[in-house]
Structure 1
């Protein structure tokens, strides 16, 4: 959703909302595939009357969530969970100790909850700007890890810090154990190894007995590459990463122009 469907204010434009409603009215099945938790996605869709019984998504509709390079939570018929991937607990422990030592904000996504070790404006902005569940502050790393399974971790810092320090460090530290990706320049995400948006969509297609020939996918970030490669028609937005645009069949307008 971020950078594709939403503008810089995390809002769905009137034009985009109208296009989604029109597609749905013509029988096109619109499926949200996003790094957001399901409550966050539904909250944003609700602002333009796209969530709920008459919208394109609800708690009873299919979708792929917490999925910025993964497919970590996939929901099928009647919104029932059909697939889940969890991040290795040792990696979670290492990352949160790093967060404390270097005072770098880090959030764990645990199904419909967000967990962290200390308050920080960048953590708060995940809720106030990006609609994610408000992060719950845990007293210790052990308490956080005992709360539930973690599907992904998200570091937040300056663009320069993420690109120059966090990404090189964690790419090396998790080599062969996890996947590293940036959906947005000021965020770094750590996910289970070997999964992608493409794998999440493929699981959903198998669930419904559909094929990739029936799919058009739209994205902008590194996390969308596998999804665009899977779809028979992959569309990258002009504001997207160069790697993403390189695999697309069509380059569309940037989200602020839609």
Structure 2
């Protein structure tokens, strides 16, 4: 079985690393363009497969984002079958009244604007594929109709804004045969997830028991996300899909 080419941001740890590991195990011929900020620190990622290409990318740098097309050309990639926007930040588990301007701007810059700008740079390569999947890793914190009553301010708002862009992209690209979705990977015991969960324990202790039952390891989450990605069809275009494969409300 011939493999596919995946472009995964933030592949060096957490969900991105486990998703990469899942895709390599699924088909050794899969090629993974794995973005990392510091290639020298990605030895474990590189060791997963000879078909993993380490790709330098800093979501906070416009220069780095602008260099994506030329970097793809350097490695001889002109077609991407599956784009996965995974890298993000979560550092605003405080109330709206307490959240300072710099945190609002930082979360919007990384979790929304960078995701869109990166996709703009890889769009032509994805459009050349017959698969045409664009996956944005979102969060249950980004839903408006099933709001989780705990302070998330800039983080929750950024994921809601990302979800809006997913809906818009799914409409704009439907006629081209794209499948554009958001995926909520669950409450995951990554460094970022554990930090946030610890703060939730303090701010909203009544939620801890119910949220604890939903906690996943990075491997469980990465595998769940991978299974969803592989099963996507054009009928899923525009959906917000939970890690358990159920559809989330926006």
Fold-level match, TM-score > 0.5? no
Structure number with the higher helix fraction is 2
Higher relative contact order (CA 8 A, sep 6+): 2
Normalising by structure 2, we get a TM-score of: 0.28
